[in-house]
Structure 1
Amino acid sequence: MRGLWKLTVSAVGHGVRCVPFRLHSGRPPAPLGARILTNPDDVLQHNMWDHVQWSPEEFETAKQKAEENSRDRIPVEEQVRYERDAHQYWNGFYERHHNKFFKNRQWLFSEFPELLPPGSETDHTSGGQKRGDTDQVSRGSSHIASLSDSPEVLREQQQQQDTSYSFAVKSQETVAFPGQHASFRILEVGCGAGHSAFPIMKTIRERDTFLYCIDFSSRAIQLVKEHPDYDPAVCHAFVHDVCDGASLFPFPPGSLDVILVVFVLSSIHPERLQGVVNRLASYLKHGGSILFKDYGRYDLAQLRFKKGQCLSDNFYTRQDGTRVYFFTKGEVHQMFTDAGLEEIQNLEDKRLQVNRGKKVVMRRVWIQSKYRKP
């Protein structure tokens, strides 16, 4: 029946093998992309298709693959180094790849128009693909301080950091700070080499807007500052560990209009996430928003992991020592609402990513969310 099936296309020798799977169900698409595959013969016409509906069989297959690659877990005593040496792993990543591993996220303003002050209109177009990053490159690297050797001690450390943070916020001076002149302020967490920052800088000039960029990696911040498009008149980039509750930002609580966290929180240990979101939320103005995009559960990147790379449920380490967690909509909602924010958008963004040269179709899952401080 027309409209019930899609094609998975893969190269087999010199031919093409097609396996049926479900097409878009005909329901109205979410407000996120509109390229819907309705004719299986068109699957190779574009690099990405939106709003893919999985069949129960496809979901079960993905779930089984994730369960299989999670059975053999890295011993807890060996996991310590992934926390202790996190900055070294990320510095090594940027030292190897510099700023050539990512593409600038030109899709930011089409999916997150909140990045512009109210009443602004952007001439910034998506320039082709309005997509999330690919599986192994979407790695915001805002990270974690050293970790103890058990979940119980980790939770205790988190509570101690939260207590220190609460005291520090109360005692922080709110006098002069970078970007104080701006009426609209943005913080990007885990800016990497600037692939969101530079499109934002280009767009916010002459808009009475200021951007703060932070990353756990000192090498990443160095790359941002050395870039010819870095403009200290509209941006302040600095090294910061968002998991360190005692480390203050150079701006006061309640001073930000937007916080951007794109493929960043997935790199943080799940036990640390709520504390990070709580602290970030405290820097929002009332009415300010956190804009979130990250890996969803059973994304292709999760299913590709081999046995022995799993740290804990849905949390893995890559070959280079960096880590990644895969979220559900429910977890994201709980995390942000527990920080006192209200939901504006929370979508499971399922797409088909197509390698047209190799005739391979890949199922991608991302979570895209927007939460506002009342």
Structure 2
Amino acid sequence: MAQKLDMAPLTRANDQPAASTSTSPPPSSSSAPAFDSTSTPTSAPKKARKPRIVLEGTTDEILARNNKAAEPRFVDKLFSTAGKQWNQFYKHHAATPFFKDRHWTLREWPQLAALGNAAAGHDADELGDSTSGSRAKGKGKAVLEVGCGTGAFIYPLLEQYPSARFVAFDFAKKAVELTLSNANHDPVHCHIFQHDLTAPRAVLDGKLAQPPPEFGEPVLEFDFVSAVFVLSALDPAKQAKAMQTLVSLLAPGGSLLFRDYALHDAAQLRFHSLPSASYAANPSLLSDSLPLYRRGDNTLTYFFTADDVRTLVDGAVEAVNAERRSEGRNVVVLEGGVEVVEREMQNRAEQWGCTRRFVHGSWRRVR
């Protein structure tokens, strides 16, 4: 369920200005100019902009505001209708410039350059794993994007590395339709389908085993597995099982690429800065103990610490290895790590800025 970053206009008191990254015009005045019926206007009056939300105070002070959690019954309904909400999300934004290709992935994960290597399977052969035959010989390296959204991750990579093979799925049916309708879609190199990451692994295996005829042999393990802004959209109770699935999909030598929202990100602080009267009936905060929220469109988002993600990955490796030991197979060993990164977003023209915080990590299966 990948989506564009929440770039809502925010500013923090005492922020220092940085170079502008936007060419947006300055905000219009709070009221439209008077209209003279005897004259011919050159353009329609501009609609007044909504006031900017200012994040004043320390992080603790901001989080102490508007911190009443929604009723459990309301939260349960949000979980049960998540598919509907995400479909509406993609339908609403399909005809707008909302979705943008992720050209930043190679900068953030330089290891993706390995997609330019001629043949797949050499890592598996070097590590002596018998599952290397699950990938077609002579084909490019295989990438799985979980929560593909509109294909913003895979298509820029396919353009740069045309020999690579891409498998992708999303929870939302509309997202899959948009990915398949992309002008860059090529069934020779792409296997795209709808799937719920929290479903049993056997369900996913069945779908992986049925690629389009042009795709050739199915891919069951991957050189790269990406989960970008995916786990934050899940029920927290299902995040551990989802991470287990991600780890289990790595081929020997394969890398897990992870990025999601971090605790105290500007988007989280914004929820606590909205007028409490607007959320008196059904607050944005969905838990008294977890940083789980609903957006205005009723999609959900969670904010992680680096330790949260580290614990999820370590637990997933333990669960995967318990199954492999019971089957008499070699255990999985991952090397890598996760950290919180910050990005300063500024717009001098509109006089706003904010600090975005993300948990960013990668792990390589070394055995």
TM interval, short-chain normalised:
0.5 to 0.7
Q: TM-score normalised to the size of structure 2?
A: 0.68
TM-aligned CA distance change 1:335 to 1:185, over 3 Å: same
The answer for the alignment partner of 1:186 in structure 2 is 143
The 2-side partners of 1:104 and 1:80 are apart by 33
Counterpart amino acid of residue 300 in structure 2: R
The answer for the alignment partner of 1:296 in structure 2 is 262
The answer for the alignment partner of 1:325 in structure 2 is 302
The 2-side partners of 1:327 and 1:93 are apart by 23
Which of the two has higher C-alpha Rg? 2
The answer for the alignment partner of 1:29 in structure 2 is none
Q: CA deviation at 1:344?
A: 1.8
User: Secondary structure at the residue paired with 2:103?
Assistant: coil
TM-aligned CA distance change 1:304 to 1:178, over 3 Å: same
Counterpart amino acid of residue 237 in structure 2: E
The answer for the alignment partner of 1:351 in structure 2 is 343
Alignment of 1:130-169 (within 5 A): none
The answer for the alignment partner of 1:80 in structure 2 is 76
The 1-side partners of 2:294 and 2:134 are apart by 37
The answer for the alignment partner of 1:273 in structure 2 is 239
2:313 matched to 1:336?
A: yes
Contact 2:56/2:62 (CA < 8 Å) preserved in 1?
no
Contact 2:347/2:353 (CA < 8 Å) preserved in 1?
yes
Contact 2:255/2:365 (CA < 8 Å) preserved in 1?
yes
Alignment of 1:7-26 (within 5 A): 20=14
Alignment of 1:139-288 (within 5 A): 182-205=139-162, 207=163, 209-245=164-200, 246-249=202-205, 250-251=208-209, 255-288=221-254
Q: Deviations over 1:188-244 (max 9, x none)?
A: 011111111211221220x3x211111001111111111211111111110010101
TM-aligned CA distance change 1:72 to 1:179, over 3 Å: farther
Q: TM-score normalised to the size of structure 1?
A: 0.67
Equivalent pairs counted in the alignment come to 276
Of 84, 88, 99, the match for 1:92: 88
User: Secondary structure at the residue paired with 1:63?
Assistant: helix
Q: CA deviation at 1:46?
A: 4.5
Q: CA deviation at 1:280?
A: 1.6
Q: CA deviation at 1:329?
A: 0.7
Q: CA deviation at 1:255?
A: 1.7
The 1-side partners of 2:137 and 2:169 are apart by 17
The answer for the alignment partner of 2:107 in structure 1 is 110
Q: RMSD over aligned Cα, in angstroms?
A: 3.0
The answer for the alignment partner of 2:292 in structure 1 is 315
Consecutive unaligned residues of structure 2, counting only runs of 5 or more, are 1-9, 23-54, 119-130, 210-217, 318-332
User: Secondary structure at the residue paired with 2:344?
Assistant: strand
The 1-side partners of 2:134 and 2:255 are apart by 21
Contact 2:263/2:304 (CA < 8 Å) preserved in 1?
yes
Counterpart amino acid of residue 255 in structure 1: E
Consecutive unaligned residues of structure 1, counting only runs of 5 or more, are 1-9, 12-17, 22-39, 48-57, 122-173
Alignment of 1:39-58 (within 5 A): 43-46=18-21
User: Secondary structure at the residue paired with 2:241?
Assistant: helix
Contact 1:300/1:362 (CA < 8 Å) preserved in 2?
yes
Identity, in percent, stands at: 29
Q: CA deviation at 1:373?
A: 2.3
The answer for the alignment partner of 2:31 in structure 1 is none
